[in-house]
Structure 1
Amino acid sequence: MTTRGWLAVAVAGALASGCAATAAERDTASASDAGSDTSESAKTPYPSTYTPYPSVDTAITGVTIFDGEGGRIDNGVLFMSDGKVRAIGGTETEIPAGAMQIDGTGKYVTPGIIDIHSHLGDYPTPSVAAHNDGNEATSPVTPQVWAEHSVWPQDPGFSRAMANGGITSLQILPGSANLFGGRAVTLKNIPARTVQAMKFPGAPYGMKMACGENPKRVYGNRNRLPSTRMGNLALNRQTWIDAQDYQKKMRSGKPPKRNLAKETLVGVLEGEILVHNHCYRADELKQIIDMSKEFGYKVSAFHHAVESYKIADILAEEGICSAIWADWWGFKMEAYDAIPENAALLHQAGACTVIHSDDENQIQRLNQEAAKAMADGRAMGVEISDATAISWITYNPAKAMGIADQTGSLKPGKMADVVLWNGNPLSVYSRPEKVWIDGALLFDSADPSRRPVSDFELGQPGEGDVK
C-alpha cells in the first residue's frame, strides 16, 4: 500500500488520537480433499487479528439516545472508556474527571448501524468483471468457499458506508446463484490491510443458502440439477443427508478424510455456523423451515423474504428473523407480491425484523430505509416508535448474526460502537457527525483527517510523481 489513503489517514488519526443421484454426489463432494484427518484446528484456520484503534475517554452529553433495544433517553449521557460503553443514562450519570466531553444538544446517539446482508469487498467498487468475486457459480453446492477469501479491504464502499450510513459492523455474504453459496463473514468496518484484521472477534460464521428462482435459473440453463423448485429441494436434502453421514464418521473412532464442503455443513448441523437463507415466497419459507427440522438445524434469518408478512406468526413462533428491504419489489416474479408494510406486520406479530441493504448504495442509508418501513407501518395503524425502528438496523441484525452480546445496543460493557447524528437518524436530512468503533473515533465530519479514503481512490501516479 502507499503511505497515503484510508489506512494512513486512520492511523494518523489514531496516533493523534448427470442422474439426480449422480449429480447430488458430485455436487456435495465438490470441495477439495485435503488428504489429512479432520481436526478441531480446521475450524479456525483464518482467525481474526482485529485490534481496536486507540481511544480516549469520551462523554456525550445532552443528547437524545436510542439504545438499540427500543429504549429512548432524552437529555441523556453516554460515557465510553477503554473501547466499551461504561455508563448510559440521564443527567445524573457521572462523568469521570479528564474525560473528553461532547455537547450533544439537539443531536442523537445510536449504536453503530449493522448491515446483515452486504457484498462489499467481494463485489467491490468499481463494478467491473474483474471484481465479480461473490458467486462461485460452478456448482449449485459450494459450502466449501468462504466469502472472506474474496473480500478486498480497499473497496471504497467500506468508507462510504461508515461516513454516510454510520455502518460499524457488516456481514459479507456470497451471492445467491447457489443452493449452498458458502460461508459468510462478519467484519468490523475499520481501515485494515487484510480481511483478517477486519474480522469481528468471536463472531460465528454464517452460511449462505438460497432457494427459489436463482439456483434453478442458473443451473437449469446449463441442463443441470436443479432446474425446478422441486430440484432445489431434492438437492438440498441429498446434501444434508451426505453431511449427516460425514458427521457420523467424524464422531467415530476413524474420522474421514477432510472435505471442506462437509466441514461447513457439519458446523451448521452442530449449531456453530448460522444459516442465512435467501428466500422470497412465503410457501418456500415454510418449506425451508420444514427441511431444517428434518435435518436438525436452525435458520437464523431469511433474507429478502418479501412475503414474510404472510407467515409472520410462524416466523415469530420459530424465532427466525426476516432481513428485508423497505420497499424493493417486482424485479422478478418471486419479488412481485411484496408490500411496503412487510416490516410493520412482522413487528406487529412479534417477529424479529431487520432492514438490510444487499447494495453498495443502500448500505449508506439504512437509517432512511428503516424510516420508510416505519412510516408505512404507521400509515396502516401499527404503532412503531422511533426507538423500535432503530432496533431493526442495530440490535436485531446483531442478534441474527450471533453478536448481540457484544454490540448492537448501548449497554455498559458492550463495544463502544456509536454514531452521533446531527439530527434524528430517521430523518432524510440527518447524517452521521461522528462514528466510534470500539471507542475509537474513526469518522468526524468536521475533521478531514478522519475521513477515510481508500488507496484505490487516489488514482494512478501522473507525470513527475515519484515512482
Structure 2
Amino acid sequence: MELKAILAVVAAGALVTGCAATAAKTGPASASASSSEKSPAKPPFPSTYKAYPSENIVITGVTIFDGEGQQVDNGTIFLSAGKIVSVGGPDTVIPIDSTIIDGTGKYVTPGIIDVHSHLGDYPTPSVAAHSDGNEATSPVTPEVWAEHSVWPQDPGFSRALVNGGITSLQILPGSANLFGGRSVTLKNVQARTVQAMKFPGAPYGLKMACGENPKRVYGGRNRMPSTRMGNLAVNRQTWIDAQDYQKKIKAGKPPKRDLAMETLVGVLEGDILVHNHCYRADEMNQIIDMSKEFGYKVTAFHHAVESYKIADILAKEGICSAVWADWWGFKMEAYDAIPENAALLQQAGACVIIHSDDENQIQRLNQEAAKALADGRAMGIEITDAEAIQWITYNPAKAMGIADQTGSLKAGKMADVVLWNANPLSVYARPEKVWIDGAMLYDANDPKRRPVSDFELGQPGEGDVK
C-alpha cells in the first residue's frame, strides 16, 4: 500500500474517537434498523464499550497467518487508530512516528475467538454461589440473557487473554434446557460492567440444546421432555407459539409483552443467531428439518462430535460445527466422537470451529487446533497451518456475526492481534503481546502489562503482597 493511501486510512481511523465503531451488519441473520423497529427484539441493554487508547504499531519480519487461510512470510503489519491499516511483505511502507517491533522468528495471528464460553456465568472460584449459567427451572427459557449473569471480575477473562490470546468470546447459557436463553459476545477487556465489555454491533445468539441433557434434566423430574421425541415436540410447539406471537405483531395487534417470545421472534426475523448444542448426526439433521419447518437458520452446532457423518449436509446448509479436538466418551452421545472430526469437515468444505466450553481449555485453543490438524494429516488430509488458524479466528467470528469487524487481518478491521513467540500451532508457543483495538493489553516482557482480575489482587505474585 502506498504511503498516501496508508495516511488516508489512518486519517479515517482517527475519526473514531476512542469508541470502537459499530460496523454495518452483514448477512441475512444480522439486525438492521428496520427489523429492530418492527420487532420487540431491540436491545434495551446497549454496549457502552470504549476502546483503550491505541498507538501506531508496525511489526516487521514476522510470519503472518491472516485468519482467512493465507500465510505471509517475512511480513509487515501496521496498526493505527485502533484499526489494521496494512498487511504485506517486507516492501510494505512503514510510516514515520510508529513503534517498530522486530518480529523475526515470530508469528502474528488475529486475536483468538472462542465461540462457546461460560466465563463470567460459571466463574472462578467454582462454587455454588457463582453457578449462574443455567436457568434449569423449565425446558423453555428463551427469556433469560447470559449477560445478566456475567461477573466481569472472573479471573478466567484475564487468563484467557494472557495464556490463550483470546480477544473476543461468546458467553452462552448452559445446555440443560431446550431453549436456554440469549448469548452475549464480549471483547476480552477489563471493565466494571458487562455492558462495557459487550462487542459493539454484535448480534445476540439463542442457545438451544438437543439430546441427552434436556431429557435427562426434566425427564428426571417426571415431566416433559423425557425422550428425544419429547424434545422435538416441545421445540415445535414453542416455535408455533412464537409464530403466532409474530403474526399478531405484524397484524398491528401486539399481544402482552412476553420476553421469551421476543427472543424467539428475533430468531424468526433473522436478528438473533441460533447456536445449538447437539452431539449426534441424526439429531442435527432433525434440527435442520425443524428449522426449515419454521423458517429460521441454525448458525452453528456446538460440540457436534458426529458432524463428520453429515459433513456434506452441513456444508450444503452453511452450518458451522464448533467442536473439540478429541473430547470423547463422557456420555453415550459422545461415544462416536473421533479426533479426525474437524479435518473431515474441512475436507468436505464445511465451516470448522474449535471451541472450549471450559475455563482451562480456552487458554489453549491454539493447541487444540493443532491437535485436530495433526489428526487430519495423520489420515492423509492436507490442511495448511494457515487454514487451521481459521478454526479459531475467522470462522468463529463468522458464526458470531462479527466477521465484518474482526477475525482476520484485513485493512479496516479492528486491530485485535496476537504476536506469538513461535508458531501458534506448537505446544511451545505462547502469546508474547496481545492488542485489542490496537491497545497493547498484554506484554509478556513487561509485568505492568499483565491484566489481573480485582478478585486476584493480593494473591502471591499479584500486587504488592510479599
Residue matched to 1:158: 157
Tell me the distance in 2 between the aligned counterparts of 1:66 and 1:417. Answer: 13
Residue matched to 1:371: 370
Q: Secondary structure at the match of 2:198?
A: coil
Q: Secondary structure at the match of 2:392?
A: coil
Tell me the distance in 1 between the aligned counterparts of 2:436 and 2:400. Answer: 18
Residue matched to 1:383: 382
Alignment of 1:247-266 (within 5 A): 247-266=246-265
Tell me the distance in 2 between the aligned counterparts of 1:286 and 1:176. Answer: 19
Residue matched to 1:357: 356
Map Cα deviations across residues 88-118 of structure 1 (whole Å, 9 max, x no partner). 0001111110111000000000000000000
**Counterpart check, 1:278 vs 2:274:** no
Gap change, CA 1:312 and 1:39, over 3 Å in 2: closer
Alignment of 1:218-229 (within 5 A): 218-229=217-228
Letter of the 2:144 partner, please give it: V
Residue matched to 1:185: 184
Tell me the distance in 1 between the aligned counterparts of 2:197 and 2:246. Answer: 31
Q: Secondary structure at the match of 1:363?
A: helix
Tell me the distance in 2 between the aligned counterparts of 1:245 and 1:112. Answer: 42
Tell me the distance in 1 between the aligned counterparts of 2:458 and 2:435. Answer: 28
Question: Number of residue pairs matched?
Answer: 425
The answer on whether the counterparts of 2:117 and 2:170 sit within 8 Å (CA) in structure 1 is: yes
Residue matched to 1:425: 424
Residue matched to 2:316: 317
* Residue 43 of structure 1: how far off its partner (Å): 1.4
**Counterpart check, 1:291 vs 2:290:** yes
Residue matched to 1:8: none
Residue matched to 2:325: 326
Unaligned runs of 5+ in 2: 1-17, 19-36
Letter of the 2:75 partner, please give it: G
Residue matched to 2:166: 167
* Residue 255 of structure 1: how far off its partner (Å): 1.0
**Counterpart check, 1:434 vs 2:433:** yes
Gap change, CA 1:41 and 1:264, over 3 Å in 2: closer
* Residue 42 of structure 1: how far off its partner (Å): 5.5
Residue matched to 1:23: none
Gap change, CA 1:213 and 1:42, over 3 Å in 2: closer
| Runs of 4+ residues deviating >3 angstroms | 38-42
Gap change, CA 1:357 and 1:250, over 3 Å in 2: same
Give the root-mean-square deviation of aligned CA atoms.
Answer: 1.3
Alignment of 1:10-89 (within 5 A): 43-89=42-88
Gap change, CA 1:323 and 1:42, over 3 Å in 2: closer
Tell me the distance in 1 between the aligned counterparts of 2:403 and 2:381. Answer: 26
Q: Secondary structure at the match of 2:55?
A: coil
* Residue 39 of structure 1: how far off its partner (Å): 7.2
Residue matched to 2:22: none
* Residue 304 of structure 1: how far off its partner (Å): 0.1
Residue matched to 2:23: none
Tell me the distance in 2 between the aligned counterparts of 1:288 and 1:430. Answer: 39
Tell me the distance in 2 between the aligned counterparts of 1:206 and 1:41. Answer: 15
Tell me the distance in 2 between the aligned counterparts of 1:236 and 1:430. Answer: 44
62-71 or 39-48, which deviates more: 39-48
Residue matched to 1:341: 340
Q: Secondary structure at the match of 1:257?
A: coil
The answer on whether the counterparts of 2:41 and 2:265 sit within 8 Å (CA) in structure 1 is: no
* Residue 130 of structure 1: how far off its partner (Å): 0.3
Map Cα deviations across residues 56-113 of structure 1 (whole Å, 9 max, x no partner). 0000000000000000000000000000000000011111101110000000000000
Unaligned runs of 5+ in 1: 1-14, 16-37
Q: TM-score, normalised by structure 1?
A: 0.90
* Residue 252 of structure 1: how far off its partner (Å): 1.3
Tell me the distance in 2 between the aligned counterparts of 1:369 and 1:254. Answer: 51
Map Cα deviations across residues 221-279 of structure 1 (whole Å, 9 max, x no partner). 10110000000000000000000000001111221110000000000000000000000
Residue matched to 1:7: none
Q: Secondary structure at the match of 1:115?
A: strand
Gap change, CA 1:119 and 1:262, over 3 Å in 2: same
Residue matched to 2:102: 103
Tell me the distance in 2 between the aligned counterparts of 1:350 and 1:56. Answer: 39
